[in-house]
Amino acid sequence: MPKLPKVSAIDLIRAFQKMGFEKVSQKGSHIKMQDKKGRTAIIPNHKNIKPGTLKKGILNPLGISVQELIDSLK
């Protein structure tokens, strides 16, 4: 399994947009994104997103692998 990259909220939002997600709303420092399947991601608008938050709070619930994220970040 590839190593989890260090990523900022801006980079993560761009990667999610490549995967078909659109920004739905923002409340405070949390950005809500949704895809056509109805999957929703809440992304904290921080310079660096902690690895645990990225893996367990964002990627795992959506069924997105680390490799898919790395491919979308390119």
d(CA 52, CA 22): 23
Residue 19 included in any domain:
yes
Q: Does the residue 42 lie in any domain?
A: yes
Question: How many domains would you assign to the chain?
Answer: 1
So what's the pLDDT on residue 58?
Answer: 94
**pLDDT tens string 14-50:** 999 999 999 999 999 999 999 999 999 999 999 999 9
Q: How many CB atoms lie within 10 A of CB 60?
A: 11
In a domain, 1, yes or no: no
Question: In Å, what is the CA distance from 19 to each residue of 22, 28, 44, 46?
Answer: 9, 24, 18, 21
Report the pLDDT value the prediction gives residue 2, as an integer from 0 to 100. Answer: 81
Residue 2 lies in a domain: no
Residue 27 CA to its chain's centroid (Å) = 16
What CATH number corresponds to the domain at position 15?
3.30.920.30
34 compared with 5, residue with greater pLDDT? 34
pLDDT at 65 exceeding the cut of 90:
yes
What is d(CA 35, CA 19) in angstroms, rounded to the nearest whole number?
8
Q: Would you say residue 69 has pLDDT above 90? A: yes
Separation of alpha carbons 11 and 33, rounded Å: 14
Domain assignment of residue 45, yes or no: yes
